[in-house]
Amino acid sequence: MTPSRTKDFLNLVPWWLLAIAGLVAWLVVKALSDDLYRQILSVVSDGIGVTVFVSLVSFAAATLLGLLTAWALQSSHLALRQVARLYCELIRGVPVLVLLFYIAFVGAPLLLQLANFLATLVRTRDAPPVFEARDFSLMWRAIVALAISYSAFIAEVFRAGFQSVGRGQTDAARSLGMTPTQVFRHVTFPLAFRTILPALGNDFVSMVKDSALVSVLGVGDITQMAKVYASGSFLFFETYNVVALVYLVMTLALSLALRALERRLRAHERR
């Protein structure tokens, strides 16, 4: 092999992926060959389902809310644009953890009080409350907080994607007699989706990692299960090695899947 070809080959090798794969392989072998690591992995794995559920539901809600907010940001109505802009700037300016506490311990109780107040309008005042705190679990409060927090960022992703679609393409669609809804459905959104997919994928990976914040509310996700086990056994080093392994495998698999999807879409465009 000539020096130039050797250099090209070295440039094409994903060294970062090989390094991560080696680290993951070492941790997997350690986890499977050591009884203690196997026990920790068994405990931590009980929280994987909660982590996946929280991440998927939160991201789906955040995407829908972000899409509506992006539509409002481009609305022809000044008041709607200003309200959407105010929402984005307020939410993006508050840390996720702070918003999580605020929704869980301020927003949710206020919502329950409002619901009970409205219920008293159609019931006797001496009747017991319709909704109690346990009716709104901490897991769902965490899901609402994550969805609201990420929706502001996703709204900006959608807005940038919609603005990347050439005005000539939308004008041509309107000239064919399409309604604004049809233009958005058949022209704007499909063209913008290819642009926003990488950013949306990154947000989803970040959502999976930030789902660990729900452990501060006692939700039994991966981090919470590890925290409980480590606090009782004092095996912090071994426990959080396993936690890091689980999150690393999940996020790496998502990243590779998103890269494969992007390559497939690019190959489809060339046809």
Q: Which of 70-84, 110-124, 187-201 has the highest mean pLDDT?
A: 70-84
Query: In the chain, which ranges are continuous DSSP H helix?
Result: 3-12, 15-33, 35-45, 48-73, 78-92, 96-102, 108-120, 138-163, 167-175, 180-183, 189-210, 222-233, 236-270
Instruction: Check whether 67 has a pLDDT greater than 80.
Output: yes
Average pLDDT, the chain: 83
pLDDT in tens, 152-204: 999 999 988 888 777 777 777 777 777 777 777 777 777 778 788 888 889 99
Q: Is residue 197, in this structure, part of any structural domain at all?
A: yes
Q: Which of 79-83, 180-184, 208-212, 225-229 has the lowest mean pLDDT?
A: 180-184
Per-residue H/E/C for 55-99:
HHHHHHHHHHHHHHHHHHHCCCCHHHHHHHHHHHHHHHCCCHHHH
Q: Which of 10-19, 92-101, 190-199, 246-255 has the highest mean pLDDT?
A: 92-101
Residue 268: pLDDT band with limits 50, 70, 90: low
Q: Is residue 23, in this structure, part of any structural domain at all?
A: no
Q: Do residues 62 and 91 touch, judged by C-beta distance below 8 A? A: no
CB atoms inside a 10 Å sphere around CB 53: 14
The boundaries of the domain holding residue 120 are 47-270
Q: Is residue 151, in this structure, part of any structural domain at all?
A: yes
- Who has greater pLDDT, 39 or 2? 39
Buried/exposed 156-175: b ≥16 CB within 10 Å, e otherwise: bbbbebbeebeeeebeebee
Dist. CA 247–CA 28, nearest whole Å: 13
CATH number of 183's domain: 1.10.3720.10
Q: Is residue 148, in this structure, part of any structural domain at all?
A: yes
Q: Is residue 86, in this structure, part of any structural domain at all?
A: yes
pLDDT of residue 230: 92
Q: Is residue 115, in this structure, part of any structural domain at all?
A: yes
Q: Do residues 69 and 147 touch, judged by C-beta distance below 8 A? A: no
Q: Is residue 22, in this structure, part of any structural domain at all?
A: no
Buried/exposed 197-207: b ≥16 CB within 10 Å, e otherwise: bebbbebbbbb
Q: Do residues 90 and 246 touch, judged by C-beta distance below 8 A? A: no
Q: Is residue 261, in this structure, part of any structural domain at all?
A: yes
Looking at the 3D structure of the chain, how many domains does it have?
1
Q: Which of 15-19, 68-72, 124-128 has the lowest mean pLDDT?
A: 124-128
